[in-house]
Amino acid sequence: MTYQAEYEKSINQPEVFWAEKAADIPWYKRPTRILGKDEQGTDRWFVDGELNTCYAALDYHVENGRGDQIAIYYDSPVTGIKARLSYSELRDQVATFAGALAAKGIEKGDRVIIYMPMVSEAVVAMLACARLGAVHSVVFGGFAPHELAVRIDDAQPKAIVSASCGIEVQKVIPYKQMLDKAIELAGHKPDFCVLLQREQETASLIEGRDYDWQSLVADASPAPCTPVLATDPLYILYTSGTTGKPKGVVRDNGGHAVALKYSMKAIYDMNPGEVFMAASDVGWVVGHSYIVYAPLLAGCSTIVYEGKPVKTPDCGAFWRLIEEYKIKAFFTAPTAFRAVKKEDPEGEALKKYDISSLKNLFLAGERLDPPTFHWLKELVGVPVVDHWWQTETGWAIASNQMGIEPREAKAGSATVPTAGFNVQILDSKSHQMPAGEQGSVCIKLPMPPGCLTTVYGDHGRFRNSYMSTFDGYYLTGDGGYIDKDGYVFIMGRTDDVINVAGHRLSTGEMEEIIASHSGVAECAVIGINDELKGQLPVGLVITKDGYEGTDEALEAELAALVRSEIGAVACYKQTIVVDRLPKTRSGKILRNILRSIADGKEYQVPSTIDDPASLPEIEAIMAENNIGVATA
């Protein structure tokens, strides 16, 4: 089938299209109602289907002759450990851990937070929850205790699964201490915690609350798979929104399994038995979808890599992995390859490895900047695929579809929409923009299977954030255009979300933290371009009258404050003290103008501006700090 025929069918006959794709998943009860609405009026896929995602990802393969195939290669340059788990071994470990959780009272619908480094046990814990019909919520290890506490209070987990420590290049990150602090900060307390003790650090356990992973599984008997409805939640994954409170993206079981299985062939051209690697972290959506669920649903082998693109031990790490595990498709964030390029612009390290197994290289998480695209294309000699997606969608909205009909790539474009995503560019009055003109990137409803179904515990926020700006459309929050050939170009967020080293962060949240400093009267945080990390946050701060600290001291204090509240991943370092910020007459800071200045883009001065003279002043200050000038 050509791409065009496939795509048109998915848009014009969505129920027929997805019913066919659903046949690829083992159901306990095959769905007959393909697309329906829930009581809140949200589109829901496969409403009467019943399945278990863990069964589809593991037991089904074992029962169908794939038991001896490697499911997970664990590769940890930071500890020197390499291990492999076959589908049978992984199924057994998952069933036993699920049994251990069940014995401690975890049941269908209970929430379990997983706060772990990149070890196979993180995957085991996720799949064990899925096996029981419990809802996991994985929290990225780079987040500080306060962020974990916010998620504990929102998800109200019965249990938390964690580890004694994580390892970041040469630093040991004390996960258990952060977990204890988070539980202390949170109002909600879990019934119990399970701790994986690692050699690098042994955590002390709190009697009656904490259980050692090994001891717990030693006494456990394997749990069977619990059938769930396709529409039952599989997981909650928190992502940055425009306020301090992260949004709990809720993913269902059925739509998720069908969409991910479909994507493995259509987008990544993967067949059962082949090796797929996503160099990300299970704490992010890329990790959920393409380290864990999609490769296993498709009967592929996946890699759990506890390392970095560089420094573990060097910039040849990715090439070594591709050679060693004969990886067919490799997926990471552009920032990771920018780190490699910075250390090895000529690609010398690649010469030491045979990467002939590699057929396609996939990039996502942020825009693939054209220089990195060209560098990679020339160096690697296989198609370089920029594909665009979000935590909310769970899989790519636009991509070059390597398993259907590969196209000539265009630098800076995520190529064409994937099945079921009716991507349209709208102006502020909901009119479609002509080809080549930028607007708000929206998706006409219904969204295909696999996308978020609500924001956990706050359906109103789901409606307000995504569904109410343009009637009948999902608002992606990205700006961009579609060219005359139908190629989608995503140019950046139109809201207060920034992307730092492939990590999605909220400037609104940083502002709330900065504003809590006793010397700060007002502030605005914006993302500025950064050659390595894509964007970096910068704070523009007005100090309180009578504040006597120096600008340098304030900068250091604010950096420490953001680090302690959000975590090291926020990378907040730079603060610029200003006398005033451009505002509307009603007192709203004109953040979109600040963003335009920072990006060196032209902007229109709104008629509602209170103090037009503040603009040249802010431009001059930014220019003094080398912000916005290079691209102006």
To ligand COA, the closest distance from the beta carbon of 290 in angstroms equals: 9
Closest to ligand COA by CB, 142 or 241: 142
To ligand COA, the closest distance from the beta carbon of 595 in angstroms equals: 21
Task: Give the pair of three-digit tokens for residue 504.
Answer: 């999605």
Give the H or E element holding residue 492.
strand 488-493
Give the H or E element holding residue 576.
strand 574-577
Within residues 3-42, the interface with ligand AMP by CB under 6 A covers: none
| Separation CA 127–CA 148 (nearest Å) | 21
Binding site for ligand COA (CB under 6 A): 141-142, 166, 168, 173, 280-281, 284, 286, 308-310, 333, 335-336, 339, 365, 501-503, 568-569, 571
Q: Are 104 and 159 in contact (CB under 8 A)?
A: yes
Does 323 participate in binding ligand AMP (rule CB under 6 A)?
no
Task: Give the pair of three-digit tokens for residue 197.
Answer: 């003790």
Binding partner of 478, given ligand AMP, ligand COA, none, CB within 5-8 angstroms per partner class: ligand AMP
Q: Amino acid identity of 552?
A: E
Beta bridge partners of 276: 302, 329
To ligand AMP, the closest distance from the beta carbon of 229 in angstroms equals: 26
To ligand COA, the closest distance from the beta carbon of 377 in angstroms equals: 19
Closest to ligand AMP by CB, 391 or 422: 391
Kindly tell me the sign of the dihedral angle through the C-alpha atoms of 368, 444, 427, 586.
negative
| Separation CA 350–CA 353 (nearest Å) | 6
Classify burial at 116, counting beta carbons within 10 Å of its beta carbon; exposed 0-12, middle 13-18, buried 19 or more: buried
Closest to ligand AMP by CB, 102 or 364: 364
Binding partner of 276, given ligand COA, ligand AMP, none, CB within 5-8 angstroms per partner class: none
Binding partner of 417, given ligand AMP, ligand COA, none, CB within 5-8 angstroms per partner class: none
Does 390 participate in binding ligand AMP (rule CB under 6 A)?
yes
Sole residue written with tokens 């309180």 = 544
To ligand COA, the closest distance from the beta carbon of 27 in angstroms equals: 30
Does 570 participate in binding ligand AMP (rule CB under 6 A)?
no
Closest to ligand COA by CB, 137 or 422: 137
Does 504 participate in binding ligand AMP (rule CB under 6 A)?
yes
Angle at 150 between CA 146 and CA 154, to 5 degrees: 165
Binding partner of 166, given ligand COA, ligand AMP, none, CB within 5-8 angstroms per partner class: ligand COA
Does 414 participate in binding ligand AMP (rule CB under 6 A)?
yes
Binding partner of 393, given ligand COA, ligand AMP, none, CB within 5-8 angstroms per partner class: none
Closest to ligand COA by CB, 104 or 563: 563
Task: Give the pair of three-digit tokens for residue 182.
Answer: 């988070």
Give the H or E element holding residue 564.
helix 551-565
Per DSSP, which regions of 427-471 are E strands? 439-444, 454-455
Q: Find the helix packing angle between 175-185 and 145-155, rounded to 10°.
A: 50
Does 288 participate in binding ligand AMP (rule CB under 6 A)?
no
User: What DSSP designation does 555 have?
Assistant: H
| From candidates 239, 372, 415, 543, binder to ligand AMP by CB under 6 A | 239
To ligand AMP, the closest distance from the beta carbon of 440 in angstroms equals: 12
**Which residues fall within 8 angstroms of residue 225, CB to CB, at 6 or more apart?**
52, 54, 55, 59, 131
Q: Are 113 and 161 in contact (CB under 8 A)?
A: yes
Task: Give the pair of three-digit tokens for residue 402.
Answer: 């390597």
Does 477 participate in binding ligand AMP (rule CB under 6 A)?
yes
**What are the CA-CA distances from residue 161 to residues 47, 74, 140 (Å)?**
31, 19, 13
To ligand AMP, the closest distance from the beta carbon of 441 in angstroms equals: 9
Q: Where are the alpha helices (DSSP H) in 381-533?
A: 459-462, 507-515
Task: Give the pair of three-digit tokens for residue 379.
Answer: 């160096």
Binding partner of 445, given ligand AMP, ligand COA, none, CB within 5-8 angstroms per partner class: none
Task: Give the pair of three-digit tokens for residue 507.
Answer: 């400037």
To ligand AMP, the closest distance from the beta carbon of 452 in angstroms equals: 11
Closest to ligand COA by CB, 49 or 142: 142
Binding partner of 3, given ligand COA, ligand AMP, none, CB within 5-8 angstroms per partner class: none
Residues near ligand AMP (CB under 6 A) are: 239, 285, 364-368, 386-391, 414, 476-478, 490, 493, 499, 504
